[in-house]
Chains A and B, each alone.
Chain A
Amino acid sequence: MKEPFILFMVAGTTYALRSTEVAHVEMVEQVTAVPNAADFVDGVVFSRGQVVPALNLRARFGFERAPYGLATRLLVANAGGRSVGLIVDEAREFVPIDTASIQPPASALTGLSGRYLEGVANIGGRLVLVLNLTEVLTFTDPALEAHT
């Protein structure tokens, strides 16, 4: 069965999220920093009248942060009753992916972002990492636990 996914780039790698999990995609405007929040939280933004956290996926996946550019996008994703913004380098494509073709991540691929992966899909020779959104939003950073 084919499902629509939205593809986006973080630090040169292509990731995918089910488009049903993404409420909308926005330009990144003013992000207000939240003091003492987890280091991968850039801050908060208003999205359709709601205050949502803006997660920097580069930071979440352990890459170096990059300044926001014209291509930078905020994906507002819904999971488990939460609305959370994901800051990505760019987000341009919707593609249908046959969910049966999503393979569990190979052990070689379970790098820094490995624990957030649902699997890997091959779209016309291009490798796409399918994200497990719930895992991305789960709050288990050792750095943060030190705070709590």
Chain B
Amino acid sequence: MSAKFETRDIVVPGDLLYEGRIRTGDNTFRSEGNVYSNKVGLVNYSNDRVSVIALEGTYSPLVGDLVVGMVTDLELGQWVVDISTPTDAILTINDAVNKSYRTSFDMTTVLDVGDVVVAKIVDFDRRRTPILSIVGRDLGKVYEGFIMKITPSKIPRLIGKKGSMINMILRQTRCQITIGQNGRILINGRNREDEELVVKVIHKIEKEAHTSGLTNRVQEYLRTIKEDRN
């Protein structure tokens, strides 16, 4: 009945986290009565459970998540959208336009293969394929900007506590940034320089996501770059 690490220690798959009975949180599993980590991450012991905050990870979709995806295929009455999940997501016509499906309807007028969409996950079908919707404010086809990818497990860090990190970046760079929970970030700025600044900052956050006091350091980093430029 004891903890084998201290909170915020780095653990790797197979590390014994706790001997004895305790509830298992994220990224842990039980084997022969003990709790082990199954990912690289920072261990977190709370009163009644042990969990691991993953440092690397694939995106597992949840209902309500905002994602940035790319249309990869057109099917009868639906689009197939790659949102970097283990299985591709599906966007039906009903969730894309306020019309019912008719055979005469040309789907490519709404979305075509290669188009990028900002969408929301609204449901899962019986095979746990994510169902998307682009009906709503700030959702739909993307016309300008560019996409960068980071590890999905670091998205919460990029947003920060109640959006503190991303709001600070938005204020400082004046770019439009849409963060998909699947690790794809849509950036659209007034000029190239601002956009490059955002890319630099996001790379820094991704690299140092596991350290504390990051928001202040990023603010400092932004200021020094801006001063260099002027």
Partners in one complex: no
